[in-house]
Protein backbone atom coordinates (compact mmCIF):
# COMPACT_ATOMS: atom_id res chain seq x y z
CA UNK A 1 0.00 0.00 0.00
CA UNK A 2 1.18 3.53 -0.76
CA UNK A 3 0.65 7.20 0.02
CA UNK A 4 2.27 9.72 -2.31
CA UNK A 5 1.21 12.98 -0.67
CA UNK A 6 2.56 13.91 2.77
CA UNK A 7 4.12 16.94 4.43
CA UNK A 8 6.89 17.20 6.99
CA UNK A 9 8.20 20.11 9.04
CA UNK A 10 10.24 21.05 5.98
CA UNK A 11 7.04 22.88 5.01
CA UNK A 12 3.74 23.00 6.91
CA UNK A 13 3.73 19.54 8.49
CA UNK A 14 4.71 18.88 12.11
CA UNK A 15 6.82 15.71 11.91
CA UNK A 16 10.34 14.92 10.82
CA UNK A 17 10.55 12.80 7.65
CA UNK A 18 11.85 9.91 9.75
CA UNK A 19 8.80 9.95 12.04
CA UNK A 20 6.44 10.23 9.07
CA UNK A 21 8.09 7.16 7.59
CA UNK A 22 7.81 5.14 10.80
CA UNK A 23 4.19 6.13 11.37
CA UNK A 24 3.24 5.07 7.85
CA UNK A 25 5.09 1.78 8.30
CA UNK A 26 3.18 1.17 11.53
CA UNK A 27 -0.11 1.99 9.75
CA UNK A 28 0.54 -0.69 7.11
CA UNK A 29 2.17 1.15 4.19
CA UNK A 30 5.08 -0.06 2.06
CA UNK A 31 5.83 3.03 -0.07
CA UNK A 32 5.38 6.72 0.67
CA UNK A 33 6.50 10.01 -0.83
CA UNK A 34 7.25 13.09 1.24
CA UNK A 35 6.02 15.99 -0.86
CA UNK A 36 6.56 19.25 0.95
CA UNK A 37 5.15 22.52 -0.39
CA UNK A 38 7.57 24.51 -2.53
CA UNK A 39 7.80 27.69 -4.56
CA UNK A 40 10.76 29.82 -5.61
CA UNK A 41 11.43 30.81 -2.00
CA UNK A 42 12.30 27.35 -0.66
CA UNK A 43 12.57 24.79 -3.46
CA UNK A 44 16.37 24.61 -3.37
CA UNK A 45 16.46 23.90 0.38
CA UNK A 46 13.54 21.44 0.42
CA UNK A 47 14.70 19.46 -2.60
CA UNK A 48 18.26 19.15 -1.29
CA UNK A 49 17.03 18.12 2.17
CA UNK A 50 14.50 15.50 1.12
CA UNK A 51 16.71 13.94 -1.57
CA UNK A 52 19.52 13.64 1.02
CA UNK A 53 17.13 12.08 3.55
CA UNK A 54 15.77 9.52 1.09
CA UNK A 55 19.22 8.50 -0.12
CA UNK A 56 20.19 7.74 3.48
CA UNK A 57 16.96 5.97 4.46
CA UNK A 58 17.89 2.33 5.29
CA UNK A 59 14.99 0.54 3.59
CA UNK A 60 16.99 -2.70 3.67
CA UNK A 61 16.58 -2.57 7.47
CA UNK A 62 13.30 -0.66 7.79
CA UNK A 63 10.74 -2.12 5.35
CA UNK A 64 9.22 1.01 3.88
CA UNK A 65 10.40 2.85 0.76
CA UNK A 66 10.51 6.64 1.06
CA UNK A 67 10.55 8.60 -2.19
CA UNK A 68 11.61 12.25 -2.47
CA UNK A 69 8.84 14.53 -3.66
CA UNK A 70 7.56 18.09 -3.73
CA UNK A 71 4.19 19.78 -4.04
CA UNK A 72 4.28 22.84 -6.28
CA UNK A 73 1.89 25.08 -4.37
CA UNK A 74 -0.07 28.28 -5.07
CA UNK A 75 2.21 29.20 -7.96
CA UNK A 76 1.63 31.78 -10.66
CA UNK A 77 0.73 29.56 -13.64
CA UNK A 78 3.90 30.30 -15.60
CA UNK A 79 6.10 28.97 -12.77
CA UNK A 80 4.94 25.33 -12.82
CA UNK A 81 7.11 24.22 -15.74
CA UNK A 82 10.46 25.72 -14.64
CA UNK A 83 10.07 24.58 -11.04
CA UNK A 84 9.04 21.07 -12.08
CA UNK A 85 12.08 20.86 -14.36
CA UNK A 86 14.34 22.01 -11.52
CA UNK A 87 12.92 19.47 -9.08
CA UNK A 88 13.23 16.60 -11.55
CA UNK A 89 16.79 17.56 -12.46
CA UNK A 90 17.78 17.56 -8.78
CA UNK A 91 16.49 14.05 -8.08
CA UNK A 92 12.83 14.44 -7.13
CA UNK A 93 10.82 11.30 -7.98
CA UNK A 94 7.24 12.44 -7.25
CA UNK A 95 6.00 15.86 -8.34
CA UNK A 96 2.59 16.89 -7.04
CA UNK A 97 0.85 20.07 -8.15
CA UNK A 98 -1.54 21.86 -5.79
CA UNK A 99 -4.77 21.94 -7.76
CA UNK A 100 -7.80 24.20 -7.61
CA UNK A 101 -9.15 23.06 -4.26
CA UNK A 102 -12.57 24.47 -3.34
CA UNK A 103 -11.35 25.54 0.10
CA UNK A 104 -8.23 27.59 -0.69
CA UNK A 105 -7.60 30.74 -2.79
CA UNK A 106 -6.01 29.13 -5.84
CA UNK A 107 -5.60 31.07 -9.10
CA UNK A 108 -8.10 30.13 -11.81
CA UNK A 109 -6.31 28.18 -14.52
CA UNK A 110 -3.93 26.50 -12.06
CA UNK A 111 -5.10 23.00 -13.02
CA UNK A 112 -4.49 23.69 -16.70
CA UNK A 113 -1.07 25.26 -16.12
CA UNK A 114 0.06 22.44 -13.84
CA UNK A 115 -0.96 19.83 -16.40
CA UNK A 116 1.30 21.55 -18.90
CA UNK A 117 4.31 20.86 -16.67
CA UNK A 118 6.18 17.65 -15.83
CA UNK A 119 4.02 16.60 -12.89
CA UNK A 120 2.88 13.19 -11.70
CA UNK A 121 -0.17 14.03 -9.57
CA UNK A 122 -2.70 16.88 -9.69
CA UNK A 123 -3.75 17.12 -6.07
CA UNK A 124 -7.30 17.94 -4.99
CA UNK A 125 -8.20 19.43 -8.40
CA UNK A 126 -11.62 20.67 -7.26
CA UNK A 127 -14.22 21.07 -9.99
CA UNK A 128 -11.75 20.15 -12.70
CA UNK A 129 -13.06 20.63 -16.22
CA UNK A 130 -13.58 17.80 -18.66
CA UNK A 131 -11.02 19.44 -20.94
CA UNK A 132 -8.33 19.40 -18.25
CA UNK A 133 -9.21 15.85 -17.17
CA UNK A 134 -8.74 14.78 -20.79
CA UNK A 135 -5.28 16.38 -20.78
CA UNK A 136 -4.46 14.47 -17.59
CA UNK A 137 -5.61 11.27 -19.27
CA UNK A 138 -3.45 11.90 -22.33
CA UNK A 139 -0.37 12.70 -20.25
CA UNK A 140 -0.87 9.96 -17.65
CA UNK A 141 -1.14 12.42 -14.76
CA UNK A 142 -3.04 11.07 -11.75
CA UNK A 143 -6.03 13.01 -10.43
CA UNK A 144 -6.22 12.84 -6.67
CA UNK A 145 -9.00 11.50 -4.48
CA UNK A 146 -8.04 12.82 -1.06
CA UNK A 147 -8.85 12.03 2.53
CA UNK A 148 -8.07 15.60 3.62
CA UNK A 149 -11.01 17.52 5.02
CA UNK A 150 -12.20 20.34 2.77
CA UNK A 151 -10.18 19.28 -0.23
CA UNK A 152 -12.25 16.09 -0.25
CA UNK A 153 -15.50 18.00 -0.88
CA UNK A 154 -15.12 17.50 -4.64
CA UNK A 155 -13.90 13.87 -4.58
CA UNK A 156 -17.11 12.64 -6.22
CA UNK A 157 -16.77 15.12 -9.09
CA UNK A 158 -13.12 14.16 -9.61
CA UNK A 159 -13.97 10.46 -9.65
CA UNK A 160 -16.84 10.91 -12.11
CA UNK A 161 -14.92 13.07 -14.56
CA UNK A 162 -11.89 10.78 -14.43
CA UNK A 163 -14.05 7.77 -15.25
CA UNK A 164 -15.63 9.73 -18.10
CA UNK A 165 -12.34 10.85 -19.64
CA UNK A 166 -10.16 7.87 -18.82
CA UNK A 167 -7.90 9.84 -16.50
CA UNK A 168 -6.03 7.86 -13.88
CA UNK A 169 -6.96 8.26 -10.24
CA UNK A 170 -4.88 8.05 -7.09
CA UNK A 171 -6.04 7.81 -3.47
CA UNK A 172 -3.90 9.95 -1.14
CA UNK A 173 -3.83 11.34 2.39
CA UNK A 174 -2.30 14.82 2.04
CA UNK A 175 -1.10 14.30 5.60
CA UNK A 176 0.27 17.12 7.74
CA UNK A 177 -0.19 15.82 11.30
CA UNK A 178 -0.22 12.32 12.85
CA UNK A 179 -4.03 12.24 12.86
CA UNK A 180 -4.06 12.51 9.06
CA UNK A 181 -2.34 9.14 8.66
CA UNK A 182 -5.20 6.70 8.17
CA UNK A 183 -5.10 2.96 7.59
CA UNK A 184 -5.26 1.38 4.13
CA UNK A 185 -8.81 0.22 4.88
CA UNK A 186 -9.84 3.78 5.74
CA UNK A 187 -8.23 5.06 2.55
CA UNK A 188 -10.18 2.52 0.51
CA UNK A 189 -13.32 3.80 2.18
CA UNK A 190 -12.48 7.32 0.95
CA UNK A 191 -12.57 5.91 -2.57
CA UNK A 192 -15.87 4.17 -1.95
CA UNK A 193 -17.39 7.37 -0.56
CA UNK A 194 -16.27 9.16 -3.75
CA UNK A 195 -18.42 6.75 -5.75
CA UNK A 196 -15.82 4.25 -6.89
CA UNK A 197 -16.47 0.53 -6.60
CA UNK A 198 -13.91 -1.95 -5.31
CA UNK A 199 -12.92 -3.06 -8.80
CA UNK A 200 -12.24 0.54 -9.82
CA UNK A 201 -10.21 1.11 -6.66
CA UNK A 202 -8.19 -2.02 -7.37
CA UNK A 203 -7.49 -0.65 -10.85
CA UNK A 204 -6.13 2.57 -9.33
CA UNK A 205 -3.82 0.56 -7.08
CA UNK A 206 -2.49 -1.42 -10.04
CA UNK A 207 -1.89 1.73 -12.08
CA UNK A 208 -0.06 3.40 -9.21
CA UNK A 209 2.01 0.25 -8.64
CA UNK A 210 3.10 0.25 -12.29
CA UNK A 211 3.98 3.95 -12.07
CA UNK A 212 6.04 3.39 -8.91
CA UNK A 213 8.06 0.64 -10.54
CA UNK A 214 9.10 3.14 -13.21
CA UNK A 215 9.86 5.89 -10.70
CA UNK A 216 12.00 3.64 -8.47
CA UNK A 217 14.42 2.71 -11.25
Determine if the pTM surpasses 0.75: yes
Q: What's residue 136's pLDDT? A: 98
Question: Where do the domains of the chain lie, and which CATH numbers do they carry?
Answer: 2-215 (3.20.20.140)
Q: How confident is the model at residue 211 (pLDDT cuts 50, 70, 90)?
A: very high
Q: Which whole number is the average pLDDT over 135-143?
A: 98
Q: What's residue 215's pLDDT? A: 81
| Three-class DSSP labels, the chain | CEECCECCCCCCCCCCHHHHHHHHHHHCCCEEEEEEEECCCCHHHHHHHHHHHHHHCCCCCCCCEEEEEEEECCCCHHHHHHHHHHHHHCCCCEEEEECCCCCCCCCCCHHHHHHCCCCCEEECCCCCCHHHHHHHHHHCCEEEEECCCCHHHHHHHHHHHHHHHCCCEEEECCECCHHHCCCHHHHHHHHHHCCCCHHHHHHHHHHHHHHHHHHCC
Q: What's residue 10's pLDDT? A: 97
Q: Which whole number is the average pLDDT over 186-212?
A: 98
- Whether 217 has a pLDDT exceeding 80, the answer reads no
CA distance 207 to 215: 13
Amino acid sequence: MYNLHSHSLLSDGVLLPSEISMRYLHAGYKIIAITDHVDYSNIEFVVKSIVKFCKRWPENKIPITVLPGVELSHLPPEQFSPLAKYARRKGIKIIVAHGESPVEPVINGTNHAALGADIDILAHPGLISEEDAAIASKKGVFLEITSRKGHSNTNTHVAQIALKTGAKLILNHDSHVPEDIITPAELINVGLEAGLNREQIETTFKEVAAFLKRRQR
